[in-house]
């Protein structure tokens, strides 16, 4: 008998529902956590020795600790007792309206940035979702050095019936047709399919610093996000729009914080220039930007809004900064993606609300940038974002609710059900008339609560009338009182002249 291939083993396990067992999920996540702990030093050495981007030992420790934290998060989310009760709910005459089942097989194609964290989060979430997992780690020249550690570590730690490290790209159409593919290298636009968890790495991130912002804090947070982890996070700001009234203060603060960050950091320069490096050099030569900075970083002041840098996804140690004159200018002067990968709005609440409303973003953060966003791949835009772990079990499972009793019904639906009931119609008992159904269905809606004179007007016309009324209510008495005071003063003055 021929030995089954790894994909055949995983397909069989998925059909037998092995990965859906809470005990199996706990076992796999526990094994993953133990393996990460045991190989922490090897992983640290691999991450810090990778030539580009060069990350500090502290940043590598943060990545490893965050990966361990992610496994703990998904492990703690398993409630074996509750899962067992839900599995047998139908047999005991109870509904399970929130039931979900795993898709079967999940294929993970890792990204480059903080590769360990991206792999661990995707694998742990897929296991928690009740799936077999294929992790693609091809043998590539110049590949990430953490891959060698991951291949050996995960192949030994995980169950070969539900997990496989493939050194080739999975191309089996039968497998891919029913699988969820996690593509962390995606660099195109948003993907609408929820079965393809493609990272929208090509979408940009824009930060806006309004005149109402805490400029010092905004500069600290933005420079940290832009220059951490080699400047390669897809959630690092690609462009900062700063109000002209606080421009000088913002530049000074950014320069100070960036200089401090790079004081003890080794250069991450590479021999070959990438597209962003060449675009920056060309913009400098053509006087489209003015650059200033220190060892290893550059702040780029945009002088010409026609420069390609204004529309580029930025990687590396560059921070493009453009000036805006107002909130309207910030929101409408550029042709931004819809949606942006993220929008960071540094402003008072009212101004931040305006910016968030008119700069559509998959994630909007007001006066902060979560550190956890800087790790791992860009989120798949077709799903609600998970700020902390990027993936969740629902992304790898399908809704399969079970109902023992019909849902609660309105008077209209109960009457309609009675009309369709063949047994009641034949016996003539409890039969509801069509007229009763029409009467129930045509009842008027409850009042909106606003004045009747405004009900026929659209939203903007109503706003104009209300705003105008409020203005007149305040302005007319003020004008009348001012006229009275000035008139009385003038008559008094004329009276004194006559004497």
pLDDT in tens, 209-232: 999 999 999 999 999 999 999 999
Is 295 within the bounds of a domain? Answer: yes
Residue-level pLDDT at 423 = 72
Q: Are residues 339 and 417 in the same domain?
A: no
> Given a cut of 80, is residue 460 above it in pLDDT?
no
77-86, 456-465, 477-486: range with highest mean pLDDT: 77-86
331: domain CATH number is 3.40.309.10
Same domain flag for 68 and 106: yes
Task: Look at residue 431 and tell me if it is in a domain.
Answer: yes
**What is the arithmetic mean of pLDDT over 203-207?**
97
Whether residues 234 and 369 share a domain: the answer is yes
Q: Can you give the pLDDT at residue 494? A: 53
In a domain, 269, yes or no: no
Q: Residue 430: its pLDDT value, please?
A: 47
- In this structure, the answer to whether residues 153 and 218 fall within a common structural domain is no
Report yes or no on 348 lying in a domain. Answer: yes
Of 17-31, 235-249, 372-386, the range with the lowest mean pLDDT is 372-386
pLDDT at residue number 476: 56
Taking only the tens place, the pLDDT of each residue in 51-102 is 877 899 999 999 999 999 999 999 999 999 999 898 899 999 999 999 999 9
Query: 258 and 177 in one domain?
Result: no
Q: In total, how many domains does the chain have? A: 3
CA distances from 241 to 209, 250, 312, 320, 482 (A): 6, 11, 14, 9, 43
DSSP characters over 391-403: --GGGGEEE--B-
Same domain (yes/no): 213, 170: no
Measuring CA to CA, which residue among 165, 296, 311 is closest to residue 238? 311
495 found inside a domain: no
The 8-class DSSP code of residue 26 comes to H
Q: What was the pLDDT predicted at 407?
A: 85
Confidence check: pLDDT of 152 > 50: yes
Radius of gyration of the chain (CA): 31
Residue 212 and residue 232 in one domain = yes
* 114 close to 375: Cβ distance less than 8 angstroms: yes
| Average of per-residue pLDDT across 442-450 | 91
Average pLDDT of the chain to the nearest whole number: 88
Whichever domain contains 194, its CATH number is: 3.40.605.10
Phi and psi torsions of 333, nearest 5°: -80, -15
Q: Is residue 466 part of a domain?
A: no
Q: Does 158 share its domain with 64?
A: yes
Q: Do 284 and 174 have their domain in common?
A: no
How far apart are alpha carbons 16 and 401 in whole angstroms?
Answer: 20
Handedness of CA 235, 239, 243, 245 (dihedral sign): positive
User: Do residues 224 and 139 share a domain?
Assistant: no
Mean pLDDT throughout 129-158? Answer: 94
Q: 107 lies in which domain range?
A: 6-201+392-399
Asked if residue 478 is part of any domain, the answer here is no
The single residue listed with the structure tokens 């079970």 is 402
Q: Give 105-126 pLDDT, tens digit per residue.
A: 999 999 999 999 999 999 999 9
Angle separating helix axes 434-441 and 411-420, nearest 10 degrees:
160
| Comparison of pLDDT for 270 and 335, the residue scoring more | 335
At 424-434, the pLDDT tens digits run 655 554 455 78
Using alpha carbons, select from 8, 42, 359, 401 the residue that is nearest to residue 204: 359
Do 223 and 345 sit in the same domain of this protein?
yes
Residue 194 in domain: yes
Residue whose C-alpha is closest to residue 31's, from 127, 146, 143: 127
DSSP label of 230: G
Q: What separation in angstroms does the CA of 394 have from each of 82, 100, 498?
A: 17, 8, 89
Q: How confident is the model at residue 420 (pLDDT cuts 50, 70, 90)?
A: confident
Q: Are 24 and 151 in a shared domain?
A: yes
């Amino acid at each position: 008998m021929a030995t089954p291939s790894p994909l055949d083993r995983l397909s069989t396990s998925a059909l037998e529902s092995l990965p859906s067992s809470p005990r199996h999920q706990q076992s796999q996540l526990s094994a993953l956590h133990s393996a990460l702990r045991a190989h922490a030093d090897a992983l640290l050495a691999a991450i810090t020795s990778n030539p580009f981007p060069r990350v500090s030992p502290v940043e590598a420790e943060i990545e490893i600790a965050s990966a361990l934290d992610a496994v703990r998060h998904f492990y703690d989310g398993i409630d074996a007792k509750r899962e067992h009760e839900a599995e047998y709910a139908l047999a005991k005459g109870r509904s399970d309206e929130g039931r979900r089942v795993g898709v079967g097989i999940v294929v993970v194609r890792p990204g480059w940035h903080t590769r360990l964290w991206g792999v661990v989060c995707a694998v742990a979430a897929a296991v928690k979702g009740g799936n077999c997992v294929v992790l693609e780690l091809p043998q590539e020249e110049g590949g990430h050095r953490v891959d060698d550690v991951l291949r050996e570590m995960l192949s030994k730690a995980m169950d070969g019936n539900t997990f496989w490290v493939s050194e080739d790209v999975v191309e089996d159409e039968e497998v891919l047709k029913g699988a969820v593919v996690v593509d962390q290298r995606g660099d195109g636009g948003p993907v609408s399919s929820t079965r393809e968890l493609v990272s929208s790495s090509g979408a940009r991130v824009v930060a806006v610093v309004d005149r109402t912002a805490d400029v010092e804090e905004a500069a600290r947070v933005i420079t940290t996000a832009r220059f951490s982890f080699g400047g390669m996070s897809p959630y690092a700001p690609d462009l900062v729009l700063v109000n002209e009234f606080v421009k000088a203060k913002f530049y000074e603060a950014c320069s100070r914080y960036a200089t401090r960050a790079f004081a003890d950091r080794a250069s991450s320069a590479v021999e070959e220039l990438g597209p962003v490096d060449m675009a920056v050099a060309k913009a400098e030569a053509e006087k489209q930007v003015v650059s200033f900075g220190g060892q290893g970083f550059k702040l780029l002041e945009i002088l010409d809004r026609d420069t390609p840098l204004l529309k580029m996804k930025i990687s590396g140690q560059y921070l493009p900064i453009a000036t805006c004159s107002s909130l309207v200018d910030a929101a409408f002067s550029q042709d931004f993606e819809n949606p942006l990968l993220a929008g960071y709005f540094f402003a008072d609440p009212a101004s931040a609300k305006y910016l968030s409303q008119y700069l559509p973003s998959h994630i909007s953060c007001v006066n902060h940038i979560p550190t956890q966003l800087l790790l791992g791949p860009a989120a798949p835009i077709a799903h609600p974002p998970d700020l902390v772990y990027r993936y969740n079990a629902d992304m790898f499972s399908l809704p399969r609710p079970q109902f023992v009793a019909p849902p609660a019904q309105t008077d209209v639906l109960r009457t309609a059900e009675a009309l369709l009931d063949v047994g009641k119609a034949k016996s003539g008992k409890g039969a509801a008339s069509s007229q009763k159904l029409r009467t129930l269905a045509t009842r008027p809606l409850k009042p909106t609560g606003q004045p009747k004179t405004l009900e026929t007007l659209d939203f903007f016309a109503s706003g104009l009338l209300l705003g105008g009324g409020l203005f007149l209510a305040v302005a007319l008495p003020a004008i009348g009182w001012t006229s009275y005071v000035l008139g009385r003063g003038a008559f008094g003055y004329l009276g004194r002249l006559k004497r």
